[in-house]
């Protein structure tokens, strides 16, 4: 057996994943540097709160737009911009790590534009669900809703694969169950907020959208259903 010594030691990351992760990392590094006094002077300590006010998603603003049928661009931007602002380093770190892991697995199967579409759709639908289903004055921030969208897409890929092999398709939902359990345990010890609503909406969006964007997936699913 010959060995390719020129091959990289790790499988390369799909470029779209870096495009999703880099803004999250850069923004968090800037906020961390400001809080530590390395950038921006004394006022930089409040950069994170200012960013949350300016770019976070508030259901009060969303409900105002719906009630008045007015949709200022700076407020529509919040449907996406909230995902780039996190409550702290650990919050950002978890979303970055999960994006790298899930994005790599999904991006190795689907084109980059499809991964980006799932990310964007889960971000927007997660915010809309948060605004419509809750009456929470706390802003929605962080990239967990689009991360759960990638998880939904990955779950779909597992689901189709298990169905094609005649295995138990519900095993595909093990990972989402574990993450929701972790979310529940976290909420017992910390004030985890109501972001789980947006996260579940993101997961449902990623899973449902996969039927449309995955090449040839829907016919394969129909074939499996007919065999039953």
Give residue 6's pLDDT. Answer: 46
Rounded to whole angstroms, the Cα distance separating 21 from 19 reads: 6
Supply the pTM of this predicted model: 0.86
The topology under which CATH files domain 15-227 is Rhomboid-like fold (1.20.1540)
Q: Which of 12-16, 164-168, 188-192 has the highest mean pLDDT?
A: 12-16
In angstroms, the CA 121 to CA 209 distance is: 9
C-alpha to C-alpha distance for 226 and 228, rounded to whole angstroms? 5
> Cβ–Cβ contacts within 10 Å for residue 164, how many?
13
Torsion (CA) 102, 103, 107, 113 in degrees, nearest 10:
140
How high is the mean pLDDT of the chain? 85
Check: CB of residue 107 under 8 Å from CB of residue 16: yes
Q: Which residue matches tokens 């065999």?
A: 227
Highest mean pLDDT among 119-123, 158-162, 197-201: 119-123
pLDDT at 76 over 90: yes
pLDDT value of residue 176: 76
- Let me know: does 83 contact 123? Beta carbons within 8 Å: yes
For the cut 90, the answer to whether the pLDDT of residue 43 exceeds it is no
Average pLDDT value for residue range 15-36:
95
Q: Tell me the two tokens of residue 142.
A: 């962080």
Q: Which residues of 93-121 are buried (b: 16+ CB within 10 A; e: fewer)?
A: eebbebbeebbbbbbeebeeebbbbbbbb
Is the pLDDT score of 151 beyond 70? yes
pLDDT tens digit sequence for 96-115? 999 999 999 999 988 999 99
Identify the DSSP state of 9: S
**Sheet strands (E) in the chain:** none
Query: Given a cut of 80, is residue 88 above it in pLDDT?
Result: yes
As given in the structure block, the two tokens for residue 41 are: 């002077």
Percent of the chain beyond pLDDT 70? 80
Q: How far apart are CA 101 and CA 107, in angstroms?
A: 10
> In this structure, is the dihedral angle defined by the CA atoms of residues 182, 109, 104 and 146, taken in order, positive or negative?
negative
DSSP state of 25: H
């Amino acid at each position: 057996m010959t060995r390719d010594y020129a091959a990289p030691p790790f499988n390369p990351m799909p470029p779209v994943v870096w495009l999703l992760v880099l803004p999250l990392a850069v923004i968090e590094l800037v906020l961390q540097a400001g809080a530590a006094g390395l950038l921006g002077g004394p006022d930089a300590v409040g950069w994170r709160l200012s960013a949350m006010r300016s770019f976070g998603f508030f259901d009060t603003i969303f409900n105002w737009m719906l009630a008045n049928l007015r949709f200022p661009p700076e407020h529509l931007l919040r449907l996406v911009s909230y995902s780039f602002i996190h409550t702290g380093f650990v919050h950002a770190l978890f979303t970055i790590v999960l994006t790298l892991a899930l994005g790599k697995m999904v991006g190795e199967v689907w084109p980059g534009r499809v991964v980006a579409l799932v990310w964007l759709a889960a971000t927007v639908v997660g915010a809309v669900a948060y605004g419509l289903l809750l009456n929470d004055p706390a802003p929605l921030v962080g990239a967990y809703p689009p991360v759960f969208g990638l998880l939904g897409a990955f779950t779909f890929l597992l689901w189709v694969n298990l169905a094609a092999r005649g295995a138990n398709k519900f095993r595909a939902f093990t990972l989402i169950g574990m993450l929701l359990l972790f979310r529940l345990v976290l909420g017992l010890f910390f004030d985890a907020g109501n972001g789980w609503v947006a996260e579940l909406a993101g997961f449902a969006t990623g899973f449902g959208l996969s039927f449309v964007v995955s090449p040839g997936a829907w016919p394969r699913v129909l074939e499996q259903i007919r065999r039953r």
